[in-house]
Amino acid sequence: MKRYLSIILVLTLALTLLAGCATGATTAAPAETTAAAAAATTAAADEKVTIGVSVGTLAQERWQREIDMFKEYAAANNIDLIVQSAEDDPQKQISQCENMITQGVDALIVQALDSAAAGAICEPAKAADIPVVSYDRLVMNGDLDYYITFDTVKVGKTEAQFVVDKAPKGNYIWMLGDPNDFNTTLLEQGQTEVLQPLIDSGDIKIILKQNAKNWDPNEALKIAENGLTLANNDLQGYVASNDGTAGGAIQALTAQGLAGKVAIAGQDADVAACQRVVEGTQTGTVYKPLKKLNQAAIQLAAALAKGLRGDEAKKAVDSSLGIWSVQNNGFKDVDSFQVDVVAVSKDNMVQEIIKDGFHTMEEVYKNIPKDQWPAVN
């Protein structure tokens, strides 16, 4: 990309000199020179660009799916894609991103493992004039260019509302996500909006409130076991911050014969979670349309890689995918694009998950006798 910009600059200078030297004639540039400039501009627009993608882990189902989506778009749009996974190591993620910056990627998409630590990526990227797009998790405390995300506060509200609707009174375990992920803060904000009035009124009592580090289902299992011990198994509600941790908690509930009796919800619509929802052991999940988020991120990154900036870059994102807003990351207000989310229960599983092509009937209902599968109209 950069070499074509140099050609354009040279041609522009040549046009200026020709116009200055002309005497008693019009200032129009020779047709062949104008054509050459246009050709160079077209070449710049069509040139293959390179986009770096950094994710914190590929251990979770959703990140594997999203990398496949990025690759599909890149293959169809003349984009070289460099993908790096930090394997749950924040410092490794920073090093990998610095390496991609050194390689000269044209834009960088970062799904921050540690929101605060990832801010260190912004300075070397800015020095190299490489735009950084924060994906799903906000990169904090750095000169970030853009943020593509879901309405995470709404996710938290939806999770808590699932549980409250089924268990408006009683003892609760409140399990938060990873403390180093800024999304955990936003989720808690949404959950608090629903839970706090009931806590204040005494309708619900929080037996245990704890973070599940790294969103680890094994950590979630331990938290659930401890909470059940504290409650003497007298538990009515369980707010889990994603489907993986909900799965860990449901293991503990199953061991005590409480699976399906305690209201519990998560997010991401993982296939295992969707199976639990239709089987009745998980109350609900929050579906985050990954295709929309993914498409918005790669459309923006591709525009930035080709040299577009500001409103011109933002216009490259399909406006039907979400809305633009602003999110402060502790360093500045960052232009942010938000994609909406959907509450999914047993009742609307087919409509929202199957019909959207996120999972198949065979995947979701594999443990349900086929004669009991709902109709797909």
Confidence at residue 62, expressed as pLDDT on a 0 to 100 scale: 82
Is the domain 152-288+342-372 a CATH 3.30.530.20 member? no
- Spatial separation of the C-alpha atoms in residues 67 and 111, rounded to whole Å: 11
- Spatial separation of the C-alpha atoms in residues 132 and 121, rounded to whole Å: 9
Specify the domain boundaries for CATH 3.40.50.2300 within the chain. 49-150+290-339, 152-288+342-372
Residues 6+ apart with CB under 8 A from 239: 159, 160, 163, 172, 173, 174, 175, 191, 195, 264, 265
- Spatial separation of the C-alpha atoms in residues 276 and 272, rounded to whole Å: 6
Confidence at residue 6, expressed as pLDDT on a 0 to 100 scale: 41
- Spatial separation of the C-alpha atoms in residues 235 and 299, rounded to whole Å: 46
Short-list 305, 289, 290, CA closest to 146:
305
CATH topology of domain 49-150+290-339: Rossmann fold (3.40.50)
Helix orientation angle between 152-166 and 182-201, rounded to the nearest 10 degrees: 30
- Spatial separation of the C-alpha atoms in residues 239 and 194, rounded to whole Å: 11
Q: What is the DSSP letter of 145?
A: -
Alpha carbon 2 to its chain centroid, in Å, reads 29
Structure confidence by residue, pLDDT tens digits, 232-252? 999 999 999 999 999 999 999
- Spatial separation of the C-alpha atoms in residues 11 and 36, rounded to whole Å: 8
Write out the chain's pLDDT in tens, 377 residues: 544 444 443 344 344 433 444 444 444 445 554 544 444 444 445 689 999 999 998 887 788 889 999 999 999 999 999 999 999 999 999 999 999 999 999 999 999 999 999 999 999 999 999 999 999 999 999 999 999 999 999 999 999 999 999 999 999 999 999 999 999 999 999 999 999 999 999 999 999 999 999 999 999 999 999 999 999 999 999 999 999 999 999 999 999 999 999 999 999 999 999 999 999 999 999 999 999 999 999 999 999 999 999 999 999 999 999 999 999 999 999 999 999 999 999 999 999 999 999 999 999 999 999 999 998 87
**Whole-prediction pTM:** 0.78
Structure tokens at 117: 């630590």
Confidence at residue 10, expressed as pLDDT on a 0 to 100 scale: 39
Q: Which residues of 261-285 are buried (b: 16+ CB within 10 A; e: fewer)?
A: ebbbbbbbbbbbbbbbbbbebbbbb
Structure confidence by residue, pLDDT tens digits, 305-339? 999 999 999 999 999 999 999 999 999 999 999 99
Please give the backbone phi and psi of residue 213, each rounded to the nearest 5 degrees, phi first.
Answer: -60, 135
Q: E strands within 282-370?
A: 284-287, 323-328, 333-339, 342-344
